[in-house]
Amino acid sequence: MNTWFSKDPEPSDKKYKNLEVFRIFFIALILILLIFTNLVVFIPLKFFESKFNLDRRSYLIVNFVSRLALRFLKIDYNIYGEPMKENGCIVSNHVSWLDIFSLSAVLNIVFVSKSDVSQWFGIGFLAKIVGVLFINRDKTQIIANNQSLEDRLFLGERLLFFPEGTSSDGLQVLPFKSTLFQALIEADKKLLNLYVQGVTIRYSAPEGEDKRFYGWWGDISFKDHLFRILSNKKGGKIDLFFHSPRKVSEFMGRKDMSRSLEQEIASILA
């Protein structure tokens, strides 16, 4: 559930024509088949990688499926900079569920998500299968959350989380919450040489649409947002800006890291 509300009114509900309804269900079917195919290949490959300590290649399947999904959604994407190869965390601004496809198309990462997503019908099940790390944002769970992140980092996994804690209209970066950065600092003390990289996701709406077209926020339901995206045939664009990776040890603390990365990511949208 999204918790951020803009001062400006949300886009009005749309009434779909017959051809748009057909497109919605046709593209939805394609996406379901893509995700199912991904799981059929991904799960056995992931199992063998873990059991026989093989090099991780299962993420290439996720990359390929995510790119296909974006293509069917009529969304082009451009990449600026390079994803980091070092161990550590990647942090990004959060616009909508489309961020998952956008980032998965080019990265080998494990997403960190709030625990209530695990209860969403269908999506929660899929997220568990692909290894999403769920955390409880309750203040009483800070120690447990930090330990979970540290455990994954010790396994050599590269984590990605959204420090805003919710999605926005895509035109701005919301204030970062610094709590999860503490886990990265604590892990660096034990593991050393961990890095953090900021990524800015910038969406460009299809021609003639509201510039906030891809944002999922306020009272917009998942169904309404999904249908809006699926019905579009004009095509939009995503720009991914990978900022320079930085050593965790360079920062004075979690608040310094949070503030610095927030400013860096927001500079692209200014």
Cβ-contact 126, 55 below 8 angstroms = no
Q: How far is the CA of 226 from the CAs of 72, 118, 188, in angstroms?
A: 14, 19, 39
Domain ranges for the chain, please list them: 74-266
Instruction: Assess whether pLDDT exceeds 60 at residue 1.
Output: no
Could you please report the per-residue DSSP string of 33-100? HHHHHHHHHHHHHHHHHHHTTPPP-HHHHHHHHHHHHHHHTTEEEEEES----SSEEEEE----THHH
pLDDT of residue 124: 66
Q: How many CA atoms lie within 13 A of 132 on its CB side?
A: 21
- Burial (CB < 10 A; 0-12, 13-18, 19+), residue 17, is exposed
pLDDT of residue 29: 96
CB atoms under 10 Å from CB of 227, counted, come to 20
Please tell me which residue, 69 or 10, carries the higher pLDDT value. 69
Please give the average per-residue pLDDT across 246-256, as a whole number: 95
Quote the CA–CA distance of 127 and 134 in Å, as a whole number: 9
Instruction: Assess whether pLDDT exceeds 70 at residue 120.
Output: no
pLDDT of residue 116: 75
pLDDT of residue 121: 58
Quote the CA–CA distance of 129 and 264 in Å, as a whole number: 33
Quote the CA–CA distance of 11 and 18 in Å, as a whole number: 21
Q: What residues are paired with 199 via a beta bridge?
A: 92, 242
Instruction: Assess whether pLDDT exceeds 70 at residue 125.
Output: no
Please give the average per-residue pLDDT across 240-260, as a whole number: 96
Distance of CA 13 to the CA centre of its chain: 25
Closest CA to 209 of 189, 193, 233: 233
Quote the CA–CA distance of 77 and 237 in Å, as a whole number: 6
Phi, psi of 184 (to 5 degrees): -65, -40
156 in the Ramachandran plot: left (φ > 0), alpha (ψ -120 to 50) or beta?
left
Give the tens place of pLDDT for each residue, 11-21.
877 889 999 99
pLDDT of residue 64: 92
0.85 surpassed by pTM: yes
Cβ-contact 37, 65 below 8 angstroms = yes
Quote the CA–CA distance of 84 and 103 in Å, as a whole number: 13
Q: How confident is the model at residue 71 (pLDDT cuts 50, 70, 90)?
A: very high
